[in-house]
């Protein structure tokens, strides 16, 4: 079978793994110049994908989280308060504990996710590599498939997340992510690996059901990684129907509200929606009380 890829360009998961195989593993590890992807065994492909997914996620986590932490948690405004309304009340070891758990989880989750990417490389999903030749094709690539990806994954993540709060799953799996009520950007990957993997499955299952261009798929997964960091930084714009950091903060303080990922629709239908702007630290009273949650009740 012809390898469906943009060999050497490093675009998409398949292109990047081929780039690693050709320019790093073959050339520097084995001293080979020719590129023979059909000769690579499954274990080699798996190890390359696992390594790539781990490094890719580490780059995202260790570049963006410290930056967001500095901008919103360390810096002070004119009143001497930080922008995230974070008052370190959950112990000075919170951040380091979150980083330790995230490093472990990212490595394990990348290993559990690599088989999905092996199936992508093998051409067993509905991912396509050629650019469209019709206006309808371009519409599907740029609008249709991203919208369907959002709706499909938002629906699945909502129900998986609700299931993870069931008493049989909460204590053994999801409780680890709820250790701290006041989240930081570093909380974004602080999961039990099975928890993070389960919530990540819809993104990969999508391409078994719906066609998606391979660059769109790569970008979608990168955006999911960014969004996960975004909803844990406690700082948000008030955008109608969007499940932002304020909503997810209330999920961490209230436990039974705001299970959504990008939108609030499923929380509204499922009667689990809580307006974060009625609770500390986002309510008017709380804001007037300066950075604290003591003037208004937490949800
Ligand atoms: Zn939860
Ligand atoms: Zn969370």
Span 143-170, pLDDT tens digits: 999 999 999 999 999 999 999 999 999 9
HEC string for 88-107: CCCCCCHHHHHHHHHHHHHH
CA 101 – ligand 1 centroid, Å: 16
CA 44 – ligand 2 centroid, Å: 34
Q: What's the whole-model pTM score?
A: 0.87
Q: Answer whether residue 1 shows pLDDT above 50.
A: no
Q: Which ligand is nearest to the CA of 186?
A: 2
Give the separation between CA 96 and CA 260, rounded to whole angstroms.
27
Strand runs labelled E in the chain: 127-128, 212-213
Q: What is the pLDDT of residue 97?
A: 96
CA 177 – ligand 2 centroid, Å: 6
Q: What is the pLDDT of residue 255?
A: 87
Give the separation between CA 101 and CA 174, rounded to whole angstroms.
13
Q: Which ligand is nearest to the CA of 175?
A: 1
CA 49 – ligand 1 centroid, Å: 29
CA 273 – ligand 1 centroid, Å: 13
Give the separation between CA 87 and CA 184, rounded to whole angstroms.
11
| Residue ranges per structural domain of the chain | 84-288
Span 219-272, pLDDT tens digits: 999 999 999 999 999 998 889 999 999 999 999 998 899 999 999 999 999 999
Q: Which ligand is nearest to the CA of 166?
A: 1
CA 195 – ligand 1 centroid, Å: 10
Of 156, 149, 131, 265, nearest to 206 by C-alpha is 149
Lowest mean pLDDT among 15-29, 43-57, 64-78, 159-173: 15-29
Mean pLDDT for the stretch of residues 100-118: 95
Share of the chain above pLDDT 90, in %: 62
Which distant-in-sequence residues (6+ apart) come within 8 Å of 52 by Cβ? 13, 16, 17, 20
CA 239 – ligand 2 centroid, Å: 19
Q: What is the pLDDT of residue 28?
A: 80
Q: What is the pLDDT of residue 240?
A: 92
CA 170 – ligand 1 centroid, Å: 8
CA 85 – ligand 2 centroid, Å: 17
Mean pLDDT for the stretch of residues 8-17: 61
Q: Which ligand is nearest to the CA of 249?
A: 2
CA 191 – ligand 2 centroid, Å: 9
CA 180 – ligand 1 centroid, Å: 11
Q: For residue 6, what pLDDT band results from cuts at 50, 70 and 90?
A: very low
């Amino acid at each position: 079978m012809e390898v469906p890829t943009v060999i050497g360009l490093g675009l998409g998961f398949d292109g990047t793994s081929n780039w690693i195989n050709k320019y790093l593993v073959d050339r520097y590890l084995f001293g080979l110049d020719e590129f023979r992807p059909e000769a690579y065994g499954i274990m080699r492909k798996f190890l390359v994908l696992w390594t790539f997914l781990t490094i890719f996620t580490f780059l995202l986590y260790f570049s963006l989280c410290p930056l967001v932490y500095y901008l919103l948690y360390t810096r002070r405004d004119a009143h001497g308060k930080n922008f995230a309304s974070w008052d370190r009340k959950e112990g000075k070891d919170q951040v380091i504990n979150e980083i330790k758990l995230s490093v472990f989880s990212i490595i394990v989750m990348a290993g559990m996710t690599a088989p999905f990417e092996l199936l992508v490389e093998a051409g067993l999903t509905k991912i396509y590599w050629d650019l469209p030749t019709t206006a309808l094709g371009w519409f599907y690539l740029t609008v249709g498939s991203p919208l369907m990806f959002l709706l499909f994954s938002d629906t699945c993540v909502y129900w998986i997340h609700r299931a993870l709060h069931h008493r049989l799953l909460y204590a053994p799996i999801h409780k680890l992510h709820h250790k701290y009520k006041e989240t930081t950007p570093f909380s974004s990957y602080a999961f039990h690996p099975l928890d993070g993997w389960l919530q990540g499955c819809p993104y990969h299952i999508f391409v078994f059901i719906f066609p998606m261009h391979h660059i769109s798929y790569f970008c979608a997964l990168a955006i999911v990684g960014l969004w996960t960091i975004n909803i844990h930084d406690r700082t948000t714009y008030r955008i109608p129907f969007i499940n932002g950091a304020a909503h997810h903060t209330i999920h961490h303080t209230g436990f039974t509200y705001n299970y959504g990922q990008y939108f609030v629709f499923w929380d509204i239908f499922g009667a689990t929606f809580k307006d974060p702007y009625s609770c500390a630290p986002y309510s008017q009273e709380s804001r007037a009380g300066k950075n604290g949650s003591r003037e208004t009740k937490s949800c």
